[in-house]
Chain A
Amino acid sequence: MTTPAEYYQRDRQRHPPALVPSYKTSVARSPRYALISLEQTISEITGPRFGHSDFGALDHDLIKNYAQGGDPIGERIIVHGRVLDENARPVRNTLVEIWQANAGGRYRHKKDTYLAPIDPNFGGCGRTMTDENGYYFFRTVKPGAYPWRNMVNDWRPAHIHFSVFGPSFSQRLITQLYFEGDPLIPGCPILQALPDASAIDALTARLDRNATIPLDTIAYRFDIVLRGRRATLFENRQEGN
């Protein structure tokens, strides 16, 4: 019986800790005991797969996928990039899902009561599969900042939520994309939960003039890195115990 090659240990110093008191909701929603570290088994190195039959033709186009006879109001943007692993190899045919507020910072969600209006032509979610090079792209409108009940005057920077899979369930990741130059980034408790400036930098999409469509749509580039897999240097070495 062979033991499968593992994915690299997750570097927990790269991620926000569970408990971040300035992000108030985390106080009652963070474990107090340490996580128990597992050596991976077949349960962790496998994960769900998706195919093109799971998707509709406009699922990646947020300008058109909820349009009710017109286009949404807002700054037309392309968000694109590659999904790579820590070995810098493309993560192929993997599911990328996004969701976001509209240009005014209002979500199409029954629990969002912010006074900025719903856009009748904007749903705010999209999904796609990466191609053979790990490449993905979406078209959408740039989301607006919005207030939230943390401190009384806290505002989230403009952001797009990203959900990514990879071939193993151990790579499952949800994160947020932010936009280069947004002055709300330094004051956001959710972003400041990150351990260092390089982590914030990794979540900041860059204006990409080369991918901009003149007189039509501006572009941002956002690459995503998932956990890499160990090469098998000494195969099936038995544990010492």
Chain B
Amino acid sequence: MHTPEYLRETPSQTAGPYVHIGLAPGAAGFDIYEQELGWDIAGPNAKGERIRVEGRVIDGTGSPVKDVLLEAWQANGDGKYAHPEGGGPVEDGFRGWGRVITDFATGEWAFDTVKPGPTPGRNGTVQAPHISLWIVARGINIGLSTRLYFEDEATANAADPVLNVIEWENRRATLIAQKTERDGQTVYRFDIHIQGDSETVFFDI
């Protein structure tokens, strides 16, 4: 058997204050690419419930972080990922990946997508519907990974193998987005607390 000579992963560095220039130049104040990546997670053909997900990222002083970039990775409504190992075909135009930035004035972020279906867990378990999130910003030396679950999936959440890895049951609640309705649209609110009393659970994936 071939025994590889291992390399070591390139070390992370903060994305810095001007991450928007590279990854969302329109937000930095200039147009350069014909199409920016990540604005349309689900595409026009995705089946399932259209939802909006929104929130803020709060620092250890309680202040909103106004220079964050978030990326989302999710399955489609049937729980399939747009990937060769994603479990099956997805709708044409469904990428399942999105990228948003926070508003420079308010720190609010939001993205429009479809609600993902349940996905297979390890060893025959089932994962509750969730969206994987990754956040980078000035002051964050290595991107923070978390998961967003849905308040109205209480039964599935109770059986979710990842939520159940979190020994402190009160901390699981930091991963549950709260459902509201606004102008006929379903909105899930998900505030991420980097530090402090209600610190969001972050994962080493």
A48 and B195 contact, CB distance less than 8 A: no
Interface string of B1-38 (1 = CB under 8 A from A): 00011111111111111111111010011101111010
Question: How many residues on B have C-beta within 8 angstroms of the other chain's C-beta atoms?
Answer: 83
Q: For the complex, is B180 an interface residue (Cβ under 8 Å from A)?
A: no
Known: A20-B141, A99-B18, A202-B10. A41 touches B203 (CB 8 A): no
Q: For the complex, is A26 an interface residue (Cβ under 8 Å from B)?
A: yes
Interface string of A71-100 (1 = CB under 8 A from B): 000000000000011111100000101110
Please give, as numbers and ranges, the residues of chain B lying within 8 Å of A109 by CB-CB distance: 17-18, 20-21, 28-29
Please give, as numbers and ranges, the residues of chain A lying within 8 Å of B22 by CB-CB distance: 97-99, 124-125, 127, 161, 163
A29 and B59 contact, CB distance less than 8 A: yes
Interface SS of A by simple majority: loop
Q: For the complex, is A212 an interface residue (Cβ under 8 Å from B)?
A: no
Please give, as numbers and ranges, the residues of chain B lying within 8 Å of A20 by CB-CB distance: 141
Instruction: Name the residue of chain B whose CB is nearest to the CB of A178.
Output: B13
B195 and A111 contact, CB distance less than 8 A: no
Complex CA distance for A175 and B13, rounded to whole angstroms: 4
Instruction: Name the residue of chain B whose CB is nearest to the CB of A148.
Output: B17
Complex CA distance for A43 and B75, rounded to whole angstroms: 8
Please give, as numbers and ranges, the residues of chain B lying within 8 Å of A12 by CB-CB distance: 204
B202 and A111 contact, CB distance less than 8 A: no
Please give, as numbers and ranges, the residues of chain B lying within 8 Å of A88 by CB-CB distance: 4-7
Q: For the complex, is B44 an interface residue (Cβ under 8 Å from A)?
A: no
**A202 vs chain B, min Cβ distance (A):** 6
Complex CA distance for A202 and B33, rounded to whole angstroms: 30
Q: For the complex, is B61 an interface residue (Cβ under 8 Å from A)?
A: yes
Partner of B203, one of A14, A30, A38, A111: A38
Please give, as numbers and ranges, the residues of chain B lying within 8 Å of A112 by CB-CB distance: 17-18
Query: Which residues of A (11-47) have their CB < 8 Å from a CB of B?
Result: 11-12, 14-18, 20, 23-33, 35-47
Query: Which residues of B (32-63) have their CB < 8 Å from a CB of A?
Result: 32-35, 37, 59-61, 63
Partner of B166, one of A17, A36, A167: A36
Please give, as numbers and ranges, the residues of chain A lying within 8 Å of B67 by CB-CB distance: 111
Please give, as numbers and ranges, the residues of chain B lying within 8 Å of A175 by CB-CB distance: 10-13
Please give, as numbers and ranges, the residues of chain B lying within 8 Å of A43 by CB-CB distance: 73, 75, 81, 119, 127, 130, 132, 147
Question: How many residues on A have C-beta within 8 angstroms of the other chain's C-beta atoms?
Answer: 94
Q: For the complex, is B143 an interface residue (Cβ under 8 Å from A)?
A: yes
Complex CA distance for A172 and B196, rounded to whole angstroms: 26
Complex CA distance for A87 and B5, rounded to whole angstroms: 7
Please give, as numbers and ranges, the residues of chain B lying within 8 Å of A86 by CB-CB distance: 6-9
**B7 vs chain A, min Cβ distance (A):** 5
Query: Which residues of A (97-112) have their CB < 8 Å from a CB of B?
Result: 97-99, 101, 107-112
Please give, as numbers and ranges, the residues of chain A lying within 8 Å of B14 by CB-CB distance: 23, 26, 174, 176, 190
Please give, as numbers and ranges, the residues of chain B lying within 8 Å of A36 by CB-CB distance: 165-166, 201-204
Q: For the complex, is A63 an interface residue (Cβ under 8 Å from B)?
A: no
Complex CA distance for A149 and B136, rounded to whole angstroms: 19
Partner of B21, one of A107, A169, A224: A107
A42 and B21 contact, CB distance less than 8 A: no
B104, B120, B140, B205 pick with most chain A CB within 10 angstroms:
B205
Please give, as numbers and ranges, the residues of chain A lying within 8 Å of B82 by CB-CB distance: 46, 48-49
Please give, as numbers and ranges, the residues of chain A lying within 8 Å of B87 by CB-CB distance: 42
B12, B34, B166 pick with most chain A CB within 10 angstroms:
B12
Partner of B73, one of A4, A11, A169: A169
Can you spell out 27 A-B residue pairs with CB atoms less than 8 angstroms apart? A16-B12, A18-B142, A31-B144, A31-B199, A32-B195, A33-B199, A38-B204, A43-B75, A43-B119, A44-B205, A50-B37, A54-B37, A88-B4, A88-B6, A99-B18, A108-B30, A109-B20, A109-B29, A112-B17, A125-B32, A161-B19, A163-B23, A164-B10, A173-B9, A176-B16, A190-B141, A225-B8
Closest CB pairs A-B (n = 9):
A99-B22, A25-B139, A48-B97, A29-B139, A46-B83, A28-B60, A16-B141, A35-B204, A176-B13
